[in-house]
Amino acid sequence: MTTPLFEQKAKRLKLLLTDVDGVMTNGTLSFFTDEKGVAREIKNFESLDGMGLLFLAYCGIQTGIVSKGASPTLEFWAQALGMNYLFYNTSVKHRALEFLQQEYGILPEETAFIGDDLIDIGLLSRVGLPLAVANSVPEAKQLALYTSPRHGGAAAVRDIAEQILKARGQWQRVVQDNLSGAFQNPKRPLRIVKGL
């Protein structure tokens, strides 16, 4: 259940950032070795989460990933979802927020972030709308203005996207435009930033 404070912050939102492992996935890391002997990572994403991020972009909210890891899969997924930003190899995640403020003038109070672990709490503590998922550590949940009842990789991001769009009065537009066929996948250039 959202609060009046959540709704107030959601109305100011210009950007939603999210962690990946444990938020967009269930946190399991899977690897295989290709024909050249190189270890490759497999990530399992929930399609409902992807649609939730597309709906946010359709309604004018920028989206991005902030991850400690790096993977060609992340680039593919971020591009497929029309995301604006991909930060990877980012150990100090709040540096992504500083970068966005300096480069694009996006203010912390206009930014949301979904995190689940201790590496995320520095960024969670600096954004206007801190968010968590059901499997988040207690320290992340304590900072969050909303914790999804769903686990990472099980449509938690979709739940959060819906709550944001409902708070902004935009959810019915998404429903109607899907019903009529007017909904279009947003096409945006992806800015990739490595190693902040």
pLDDT digits (tens, 9 = 90+) for 17-40: 999 999 999 866 666 788 888 877
Rounded to two decimals, the pTM is: 0.93
pLDDT mean over 171-178? 98
pLDDT mean over 157-169? 98
pLDDT surpassing 90 at residue 195 = no
Report residue 165's pLDDT band, with 50, 70 and 90 as the boundaries: very high
Q: Sign of torsion, CA 83 84 90 96?
A: negative
* Per-residue model confidence (pLDDT) at position 136: 98
Cα→Cα distances 113→34, 53, 150, 173, Å: 34, 13, 16, 24
Lowest mean pLDDT among 2-16, 22-36, 56-70, 119-133: 22-36
